[in-house]
Structure 1
Amino acid sequence: MERVVLGYDGSPASEAALEWVAHRARGRRTELDIVLVTNMFLSDRTVAGTVLEAAARRWRDLAPDSPANVVRLDGTMPATLTNAARGAGLLVLGIQAGSRVRTVLGGWMPLRAALQSGAPTAVIPAGWAAGDDPVAVGLDDDDSSMAAVDFAAAEAFSAGAPLRVIHSWLMGGSQVQGTTALLPSPQRVAREHARILDATVERVRSEFPHLDVRRELVRDNPTSALTRAAARSRMVVIGSHGRGVISGSLLGSVGLDLVGVLERPVCIVPRRRPLTREEGLPARS
């Protein structure tokens, strides 16, 4: 059974996040932890109890077949919530559209949460409504988005929706040989990026033979490509390099540009870390 942690505070954005989780839970075995982080004042605790009771009732109405635990934790944001989400299959947050990377949960940055918790983190805008559009995933040049692609494929398969794998590219700078500057051919660069996209699409199709996988090669920057795709997607999935909030082409600047701006859910999937020898990596002979 998948464990999902929902950061909740009773706001419209967190209500939208709860509804999104309930919609996603249809046809899945999901156990939900509804977590509200409070300070240590008694008045805050009293209000928290009322908020969590309302959330539990709403969840029972939306997903009566899926169990939910309501949890109030004293602490500070975001550390308390991200610690609660460690080991979970998914962390879900609500966000007020137009608030950029500052969520309703105490001004917390969800990009940092994705790295701190180690779990995929879905950020749901207030006003979210269910739709039947494809799941879109951004594919980077390196392997940093492989976990994001796998997550997006599984989400699309479970939802019975198509998957759109989007890879964007721009011309690089000239290369210098001796005293001569050589400009790369646009056709050659496009072919190289097409190979990256085709290899990923073929891998996904081999793992999900019944999934409708669509490829999109776009000559543009990642932010613009994914922003345009979002208007016809039920979710946009991006990867994380795991080197920090600002680093990397798909978690850093692109993530900052998308989260809180798009009116579609955005899911940030941390890059897989290599296995250590203690965790089962075979020793070299």
Structure 2
Amino acid sequence: MNDVVPENYPVVVGVDGSESALTAVRWGARDAAHRHTSLRLVHALGLPSLYVGAWPPSGELREKLAQQGIEILAAAEDAAKQVADIEVETVSDNGDPAPVLIEKSRHARLTVLGASGHGGFLAGLALGSTPVKVASHAHSPIVVVRGEDADSRPERDPVLVGIDGSPLSESALSFAFEEASLRGAPLTAVHTWFDGDAAEMLTPERFAEEWGTVQDVAERMLAERLAGWGEKYPDVSVERVVERGRPHQKLLKLSEKAQLVVVGSRGRGGFAGLLLGSHSQALIHAAKCPVMVVRPAEDRE
């Protein structure tokens, strides 16, 4: 199992009463069952955002939101237990969704949320407004559950992982192999290159060790990154995809027939201090299957 996150931590799922959140609950419940761990369902009431200046929300509104939260968590717990025989814990918090989920992610194997939430009368508090914030600051890997059939896709569909040669993509590769092994699924490792890579990949130092086209060098780079993983996960069959193009464009296309895509929060060319790269943001917003975003270990700490 992956050694970054303690195995006894639960899978945490954010719920807000939307159908998207229930899909995330069902996905998270199945993932928790695969991991032989529990499920923690978290609902945020969003009270801080309801303050008008120094005036807190009325007692009547607070009571209404609390009752609504009880009902939302009960429905989510029922949805989880319909798909997996696991221990389920429910948590209600007064805070706003993004900061609450970021804090709960400190003790999570994964933090899972739907791709979009309800609009409701609490504009801006829907779970759909939080994926990028949570992905940028979470202490665990996060999964944004996308796709209409995300919670029921065949587990024979592949797990995708984007590899760009950075240390962070090595962490993404670790989680991707783990997810594929848990599901008995194949793994598709994707590395793309474009003309802007050539200056970096075909340096004199690189040519001193090897010669070839950009495609040749890219294929060797991917092979180097995959070396050793087959021994650790002999049950996972691996397909290599090396093509010219932008990473998110290829991963978006392949996500149509995948059950999960795993990426680092920022790539090899990311700016120092950048919390979420353009490729991972593109996948969060447009992938056809759930997206796992893995942040650097030092950031998670």
Among 130, 139, 143, the residue aligned to 2:153: 130
Matched, 1:270 2:291: no
Matched, 1:88 2:129: no
Report the CA distance between 1:258 and its aligned residue.
1.4
Map 1:150-229 → 2, pairs under 5 A: 150-172=174-196, 187-229=212-254
Q: Residues 184-203 of structure 1, C-alpha deviation per residue, up to 9 Å, x if partnerless?
A: 9x953222221210012223
Task: Return the alpha-carbon distance in structure 2 between the equivalents of residues 142 and 168 of structure 1.
Answer: 13
1:130 partner amino acid: R
Q: Residues 34-76 of structure 1, C-alpha deviation per residue, up to 9 Å, x if partnerless?
A: 0000034121111111111122222222222x11110000012
Report the CA distance between 1:134 and its aligned residue.
0.5
Q: Residues 197-244 of structure 1, C-alpha deviation per residue, up to 9 Å, x if partnerless?
A: 001222321221221111111111112111111112111111024978
For the 8 Å contact 1:94–1:103, the answer to whether it is kept is no
Greater strand fraction, Structure 1 or Structure 2? 1
1:96–1:78 Cα change, 3 Å? closer
Matched with 1:107 is 129
12-21 vs 73-82, which moves further: 73-82
1:44 partner amino acid: L
1:224–1:112 Cα change, 3 Å? same
1:199–1:38 Cα change, 3 Å? same
SS at match of 1:114: helix
53-62 vs 217-226, which moves further: 53-62
TM-score (norm: length of structure 2): 0.78
| Consecutive unaligned residues in structure 2, runs of 5 or more | 1-7, 48-61, 118-123, 200-206
User: Matched residues, percent identical?
Assistant: 28
1:140 partner amino acid: D
SS at match of 1:140: coil
Please report the RMSD computed on the Cα atoms of aligned residues, expressed in angstroms: 2.9
For the 8 Å contact 2:116–2:129, the answer to whether it is kept is no
Task: Return the alpha-carbon distance in structure 2 between the equivalents of residues 107 and 30 of structure 1.
Answer: 28
Map 1:227-266 → 2, pairs under 5 A: 227-241=252-266, 247=274, 251-266=276-291
TM-score (norm: length of structure 1): 0.82
For the 8 Å contact 1:12–1:126, the answer to whether it is kept is no
Task: Return the alpha-carbon distance in structure 1 between the equivalents of residues 264 and 12 of structure 2.
Answer: 20
Matched with 2:138 is 117
Report the CA distance between 1:80 and its aligned residue.
1.6
SS at match of 2:285: coil
| Consecutive unaligned residues in structure 1, runs of 5 or more | 176-183, 277-285
Greater helix fraction, Structure 1 or Structure 2? 2
SS at match of 1:119: coil
